[in-house]
Amino acid sequence: MPMLLVVLFLLLLSSPKLLADEQQPFCSNVNTMYMPQDAYRSNLISLANALIANITEQKSHSAVSTAGMGPDKAYGAALCRGDSTGKHCAERLQQALGKAIHNTAASGNNHSQKMVTLYDDDYQAQLSFSDQDFLSSFTNAPECTLRAYLNPPPNIVDPDLFTKLAIELMQKLAADAVAQSARYSTGQGWFDPKGQTVYGLVQCTEDMPTEPCRECLAAIIEEGKKMSGLTGGAILGVRCSLWYQTDIKFFAGKPMESLHMPTPSRFWIWVTIGSFSLSVTTAWLLVHIWIKRERKREQARFELRLLSMAVQNVINLWRIEEGNSGFSLYDFSQIKEATQNFSRENKLGQGGFGAVYKGLLPGGLEVAVKRLSACSVQGLLEFKNEIQLIAKLQHKNLVKLLGCCIEGEHEKILVYEYLRNRSLDVFIFDFVKGAQLNWSKRLRIIDGIAQGILYLHNHSRLCVVHRDLKASNILLDSDMTPKISDFGMARIFCSNMIELNTTRIVGTHGYISPEYAFDGVCSIKSDVFSFGVLVLEIISGKRTTGFYPYDGKLYNLISYAWQLWRSGQGHELVCCRMGNNHQVIQRCIQVALLCVQERADDRASIDQVVTMLNSEEMTLPKPKQPAYFYVRSSGSDVSSCNSSISITLAR
């Protein structure tokens, strides 16, 4: 029944000075239950839930019980530190159980291990299970010892005397705990040579009779004598435990017992000095934090004023230079009426820098209205660059910016054409709606996205690198024609600039190219990589952040597609009926894999991609192993960053 008692437990309860002794060996426990889906495991989980429920109901810090019958019978004990009871204890136990079940499912390992102890992250709560009856014998084995020192280590005049004091305190607490119905006691003792206070805590599970509890505590106190001169330590067992720590009151509530404490006068002198020092330090810290925050706020207000002036200059230039371009300047009252005062019913979604609403202008024109956050520097940058850039871009596969609205210093609004079918992810990741997209429609969507990127990279006034191509940024009109959206942050570079180096990486997890994610190098090949991931999602109906089984292992979408294509099973990736399009689909998968190559130089350019997609006679090069080729090693999903950003490279 392995246990892990890590010094982190004391670190979390103590001052920053407390450090682990790196030389101490740790007990091993990975909070994972390796066992098959059998009756014993079912009994074990049912038993754990029953123990947790009992602790919650009884508002206790411990519980013991059994579940099942015969050879699959499970015995279990739950034990939290005595100052953690009821709901708080149950939450810690549930965390340990959930983590163990989650890790077991993720590992896929079926190695049976019927004796196991699980801990929460702070090691203040534990669940112990076995297929053997360890309850009736009140056994405390196995026990693990945790030790800690202060850094720098204090100069203890007499380590043996110090240890004697700690043991004497533990013995006094043990006598008190045995007499308590909760089988729990806390206390403090004074170590006079160094003027230090030792705090202690002992406990048994509440079901233990008086004599077994006394014997159990006596045994671990005897074991504690070996920790000579240590400033902190713990011995944790299945049935009883003890803790002690120097100068750190690590438990909740007042100490129940005291030993050799100083006279009130001396004690209160130190309390007064400490309180005064703490008050002065706290006051200085609060003033420092306030000054620092005020400086940041003033800097932010200054940046907002500069950006507001820049935005107004952009609007003035549009009035002069682009008067007949179809770009309109709307009154705030018009937008307010069109969106029914930005009502909840008209809200389409929430973007990185503001909400998006559906609006109906006079004359029946439906629009999408993006209302930017009032005090967002990034929001103002997005507003300014959308107007500067996307309003000048005209292509059937790009969402059209119809105009904007400015009201005072706070209201900044962008008005787009409204696309009834919303975004691509609504369809391809939904089993029911996905049925509306047969293979020919999906192929048309893939080609349309490619044509839009080709325009941005090669045929627009400026070379635009989007940097956040993903399914949710591809909008669909009533005919399922794809339109690239969200051109938030744009920058214009010198004519000889072919790539950008940046320390601020933006985009969405799963779509970012490796050279951009790891080295901050962004170029048109970054969009090609994102396009390749997007094509695999459209073909498969699977998310790039998911993991999928192949040959007994779990792979991310890129690796999964590579394995299937390499083994000639590419058709298994397709989520819809293929009909007679086997060769076309295999071609699309191969093109996608050519787009997600590890090295940017190995990827095709977008004009080559368009040619390969539309030329059945063209012989395609063989892709190499793609980027991000790995097998899943953790059960937790990685969250996505939803920030949208674009850059431009001047020709």
Q: According to the 3-state scheme, what is the secondary structure of 340-369?
A: CCCCHHHEEEEECCEEEEEEECCCCCEEEE
- Write down the pLDDT at residue 12: 30
- Percent of the chain at pLDDT > 70 equals 75
CATH number of 31-136: 3.30.430.20
Which CATH code of 3.30.200.20, 3.40.50.1980, 3.40.50.720, 2.160.10.10 fits the domain covering 273-418?
A: 3.30.200.20
Cα(379)–Cα(350) distance, rounded to whole angstroms? 13
The pLDDT of residue 201: 94
| Residue of 521 and 228 predicted with greater confidence | 521
Binding-site positions for ATP: 370
**Under 8 Å between Cβ of 279 and 233:** no
How does pLDDT run across 238-286, given as a tens digit for each residue? 899 998 888 889 899 999 999 887 765 566 777 888 888 888 889 999 9
Mean pLDDT (whole number) for 413-440: 89
Mean pLDDT calculated for residue range 433-447: 91
440-455 burial code (b ≥16 CB/10 A, e <16): ebbbebbbbbbbbbbb
**Rg from Cα positions in the chain:** 33
As to burial, measured by CB atoms within 10 angstroms (0-12 exposed, 13-18 middle, 19+ buried), residue 17 is exposed
**How many angstroms separate the CA atoms of 591 and 81, rounded?**
59
- Is the domain spanning 421-649 CATH 1.10.510.10? The answer is yes
pLDDT confidence band for 150 (50 / 70 / 90):
very low
**Contact assessment for residue 468 and residue 507, using Cβ atoms and an 8 Å cutoff:** yes
Q: CA 36 to CA 33: how far, in whole Å?
A: 9
Is there a common fold for 273-418 and 421-649?
Answer: no
Q: Which helix (H) or strand (E) holds 217?
A: helix 210-224
pLDDT tens digit string along 449-484? 999 999 988 888 778 888 889 998 999 998 999 999
3-state secondary structure 284-339: HHHHHHHHHHHHHHHHHHHHHHHHHHHHHHHHHHHHHHCCCCCCEECCHHHHHHHC
How far is it, in rounded angstroms, from Cα 390 to Cα 489? 11
pLDDT of residue 218: 94
Of 113-122, 174-183, 291-300, 492-501, least confident by mean pLDDT is 492-501
Distances in Å between the Cα of 261 and the Cα atoms of 202, 268, 554 are 19, 12, 61
d(CA 332, CA 154): 69
The mean pLDDT value for 158-169 works out to: 82
pLDDT at 617 (0 to 100): 81
- Looking at residue 510, its amino acid is G
Helix or strand (DSSP H, E) at 475: strand 474-476
Looking at residue 22, its pLDDT comes to: 35
Beta strand 184-191 pairing with 62-67? unpaired
Terminal CA-to-CA distance of the chain, rounded, Å? 67
Domain spans of the chain, in order of start:
31-136, 273-418, 421-649
Q: What is the pLDDT of residue 164?
A: 84
pLDDT of 422 reads 87
Q: Which of 468, 477, 551, 607 is catalytic?
A: 468
Q: Which of 36-40, 181-185, 508-512 has the highest mean pLDDT?
A: 181-185
Q: Contact at 8 Å (CB) between 368 and 356?
A: yes
Q: 569 φ, ψ to 5°?
A: -115, 30
| Strands of the 328-329 sheet, one edge to the other | 328-329, 401-407, 411-417, 366-372, 354-360, 347-351
33 or 642, which is more confident: 33
Banded model confidence at residue 380, pLDDT cuts 50, 70, 90: low
The answer, yes or no, to whether residue 358 has pLDDT greater than 50, is: yes
pLDDT > 90 in the chain, percent:
34
d(CA 581, CA 242): 70
At residue 367 the predicted structure's pLDDT band, cuts being 50, 70 and 90, is very high
Active site residue 38: no
Binding residues: 370
Note if the pTM is more than 0.85: no
Question: Rounded to whole angstroms, how far apart are CA atoms 322 and 333?
Answer: 23
Nearest CA among 557, 553, 594 for reference residue 573: 557
